[in-house]
Amino acid sequence: MSGFHPFVIRAMGSDALVEPEQYNYIKILTKYVLRKTDLITCHGENLPERIAELGAKREKIKIIGLEIHQAGTENMSEMLEGDELLHGT
């Protein structure tokens, strides 16, 4: 690990639900990474419990949905226009 902080990861389902149970080395690596992170985001209601079982502190786990809401615009380019994340500022 680089030691860079904040260290944020996103668990996408199989990262926590499937692969650690299929491969022991993935389970060991996953547990290590979860202990080192500052924030873990996930998109499903079923993931926080499993992530905590793998060793993450519950207060570091946040559910962030994958949805995109239209916000009253006609198309995606209008919605994203001027977005700071797109421009890296």
For tokens 């260290």, name the residue: 7
Question: The pTM is what?
Answer: 0.66
In a domain, 80, yes or no: no
In a domain, 88, yes or no: no
CA torsion 7→11→17→19, rounded to 10°? -70
In a domain, 2, yes or no: no
Residue 15 lies in domain: 8-69
Note the pLDDT tens digit of each residue in 18-72: 998 999 999 999 999 999 999 999 888 889 999 999 999 999 999 987 665 555 5
Tokens of 35: 């202990």
In a domain, 78, yes or no: no
As for how many domains the chain has, the answer is: 1
In a domain, 57, yes or no: yes
In a domain, 87, yes or no: no
Work out whether the CA dihedral 82, 85, 87, 89 comes out positive or negative: positive
In a domain, 21, yes or no: yes
